Each structure stands twice: as structure tokens, then as C-alpha cells.
Chain A
């Protein structure tokens, strides 16, 4: 949580945090006012939860991650210092890290996976088991998504599902804009390759 001054300190109306859309509630959040947390969740809970859902492919895990993200925000708000980064960027960065951490734990629990899966995503087989009731086509696409290496998956989620600008997404992923673009290109290429065999079905639908 870097920047120039503490959220609990005095506010300069011309300071950089005026550019942060959440600047209006950060002081109250730092002072532990539950209403401010309510507003923060009204603004960002859906996006945080859906990012976790696309990353992990599971609703319960996504809710757990979202809960952890906002409790961290609540506890750490007094330490927040306004700077060039927006508070929402920090929220999404925490979401990303918690998802990566969860994927790592799943990988430790399920170290062996079906042979045709990429080594970076052993969780895919477990997630597929949870999705037996879904339509076959949707499952194929979800499967292709969870088979992507986690950084490529996160890039696609931020770009395609969260409609984030490349600058904001790159900040969340802690990479440069060109590196983010490269991750996206590799993600799309991998997805295309995986979906190649189902191309006719996809086009029909």
C-alpha cells in the first residue's frame, strides 16, 4: 500500500487520490465505518467474485476469495496511502494473489492429473468433475480456459470478462503494458489451439 499519505491523515483536495473513484470512502473505511465497507462492496464485490470464479471455476471458492479480499481491505484500510494506484487496483491484485495461492494449494492436493493437461493447470481435472451437469460445449470452453497457465487466464479474464483497460489490467498483473499484451496474445492462441477440434460446433452455435 504505497503512496504519499495515510488514509487516516488529513486530505488535500488536490492530491492524487482525488482521481481514485473510491477516495470518497477510504477515510471512513480507515476509521472502521461499516457503511464504507458496504459502499466498497457495492462497487467491487461482483467484479472481485466473478474474477475469482473465472479463475477457479467454482462458486464456493470464489465466495471465499471475495470474503478474504474485503476483510483484508477492511483490516488494512488504515495503512492505505494514496498514490498513483487506485484502491480497486489493489483489491484486484489481492484477488489475483489469493487465486494463485488457492490454485497452488489445489495443485499440492491433486499433484497428478490426466495426461493431456498442461502442467500448469492440474486443477482442471478436478474442476471438470464439478461441472458434469453443464452442457458439453460450455464445459469444453471452460475446460480450455482452466487449462490455460494462470497468468494467461488472468489476462483473458481482466480483458474479456472485466473489460479493463490495458493500463489497469497491466497494473493489476504487475507487468508492463507490452508484457500484458503478449500474455493476452499467447492466451488467445492457446485457447484457439485447444478449441480447434470443436471449431465447427462453436461456429454453429
Chain B
């Protein structure tokens, strides 16, 4: 066990608080030994930390029954599984293509409304059509962007 100096003990208290059980495991024993060997400094260092711990301890997350929440999540999860199973059984493997076709139509409609052109004119304009489709695709993919933002690494 390597010894700690006052500065490090002070850092530990400032970060992890007065209770050594929350200190890093590899420094806990040495830290406690320092506190016992230096009672005067310990008193000074721990006073503020103790009052903050007491203050934090007054807040409690409701620790009530979570069985209802648990049941709700299980029901939703089972439903999700059933929905995806029936979706696959119904032979919707071509769905992405259907969605892509729908997106194409929607992109044309959005662009034609926004630009004030007729549907036929917009469908004929290749460059504008591409822009609208890209824009629409991005909006459809917002969920994936959010997942990336979360950094879940999925």
C-alpha cells in the first residue's frame, strides 16, 4: 500500500466526498490511514464535505413498487416482438422498396408545393427532384442520426 499525501487526500475528498467507501478502491486504504494519522487536518478537510453529504442524503428517489412499470415494459416488449414477427410473416420483405417509391412520390409533391410548380413540371426536372429526395431521405433518417448522437455504438 503506497502512502498518500495531504494534497491527494484533499483531492479525493473534493471529488468523492467524505465517505471513503466512495473513493477509488486502490487508494481507499491509504487514504483512510492518512485520515487516522492526521486527525487535525482530517477535521478541517472533512467538515464541509460532511455537510454536503448530509444535504445530498436528504434527497431520495422514490423507491416504491416498480412491478407495474416492469409489467408495462414486458407487455410492450412482447407486443413489439409479436408485431415484428407478424410483419415478417406477412411477407413485407419488399417494404423498403415500397417506402422508397413512396418517398419518391412524396418528394415530388413536397417540391412542387414548395416551389409553386405543377407536379408534371417537377417530375421532369431531374436536378430539383434529386435535391428534394435527398432532403426527404434525411428527414426520414433522423432516428439514425439520433442514435449516432447517443453514441450507443449500435
Contacts and interface: CB of A to CB of B under 8 A. Distances in A.
A138 B56 CA distance: 9
Given A32-B81, A34-B74, A138-B58, A166 B52 contact: no
Interface stretch (B65-73, B98-106, B116-124, B127-135): B65-73
A156 B78 CA distance: 35
Interface in A25-66: 32, 34, 37-38, 41-42, 45-46, 49-50, 53-54, 59, 62-63, 66
Given A2-B153, A32-B81, A156-B56, A192 B69 contact: no
Given A37-B77, A79-B154, A67 B25 contact: no
- B-side binding surface: helix, strand, loop or mixed? helix
A70 B49 CA distance: 36
Interface stretch (B13-21, B35-43, B89-97): B13-21
Interface residues of A, number: 60
Interface in A148-166: 156, 159-161, 163, 165-166
Contact of A74 (B17, B25, B77): B77
A41 B75 CA distance: 13
A71 B74 CA distance: 9
B17 A34 contact: no
A48 to B, nearest CB: 10
A86 to B, nearest CB: 14
Given A54-B59, A97-B151, A185-B11, A49 B66 contact: yes
Contacts of A18: none
Interface string B134-154: 000000000000100111111
A189 interface: yes
Contacts of B70: 38, 41-42, 45
Interface string A81-98: 000000000100110011
B55 interface: yes
Given A160-B17, A191-B52, A195-B52, A101 B150 contact: yes
A1 interface: yes
A71 B81 CA distance: 10
B113 interface: no
Interface residues of B, number: 40
A15 B76 CA distance: 32
Interface of A: 1-2, 32, 34, 37-38, 41-42, 45-46, 49-50, 53-54, 59, 62-63, 66-67, 70-72, 74-76, 79, 90, 93-94, 97-98, 101, 137-138, 141-142, 144-145, 156, 159-161, 163, 165-166, 174, 177, 181-182, 184-185, 188-189, 191-192, 195, 199, 202-203, 205
Smallest CB-CB A-B distances: 4 pairs: A50-B61, A97-B150, A184-B15, A53-B61
Given A70-B73, A188-B14, 6 more contacts: A50-B61, A93-B151, A98-B150, A182-B15, A188-B15, A192-B48
13 contacts: A2-B153, A46-B66, A53-B61, A71-B76, A98-B150, A159-B22, A163-B22, A166-B16, A181-B11, A188-B52, A191-B55, A192-B52, A195-B52
